[in-house]
Structure 1
């Protein structure tokens, strides 16, 4: 069973328990520049292409399936692109819609966590017996704070507009 680094015939390969595997770099590297990122034998790379061809073509994989959420899964040197999600070919518009929705949901979940944290902080500050006048001057009333952060339709619309503008300005890539 192969373990570690092996060099032969113009290429270097890294193995773990008999499978091509390497974290922090490609598991297969050819002298001509071709490179593959693999994890436990599967083509996989989270923040970049899992295959880089020496002609400039790049292909994104996640857990052994061709996949990319924030751009085309295949970028060719001539500028042509192909879009895939979880191994299934799809359209640029569908990928961008899914990506935009994932970003909106991510930001909304952060906003909801912040909202709950702020409400809890205000509630706790009301129960402390430090100084009523200091507390009421330093922290807005609970109902005023809730009104401020409950304006979710406005928040959702602002996030959607911001992300759509970012998407357009970067040619479909965030």
Structure 2
């Protein structure tokens, strides 16, 4: 594990909420949630998780790294697809248990399914009964996942 970027120990609420030390709080699985948005448009691209090493690598390289929960490996976003997320700004929330990345994406897409955003379907609200039908917010894929990844099984768990 790369210890070159140390994280501060969490010693007080004041230190965590008002201090200048990075003291992230990882959950019981060793992860911190990350919301990733397009730096230009503000569009939400994806939601992921980082373990300590992914957070360190993101800080060190300026490119987004995540922990793949389904594959159980450190994941440099775009290493296979070429859709690298270059971090333009990284923020941490008030109690340092969530990260927000504002990124520019080489190739313009972030979803392994081929859409620009992983949030490519809208859920209707104020539905009073019956089934809920999702509405696609993106009509065309930004890339063909079979061409990029081959016929590999979907990396997400059902």
TM-score range with shorter-chain normalisation?
Answer: under 0.3
Q: Please report the TM-score for the alignment, with normalisation by the length of structure 1.
A: 0.23
Bigger Rg over Cα: 1
Q: Please report the TM-score for the alignment, with normalisation by the length of structure 2.
A: 0.24
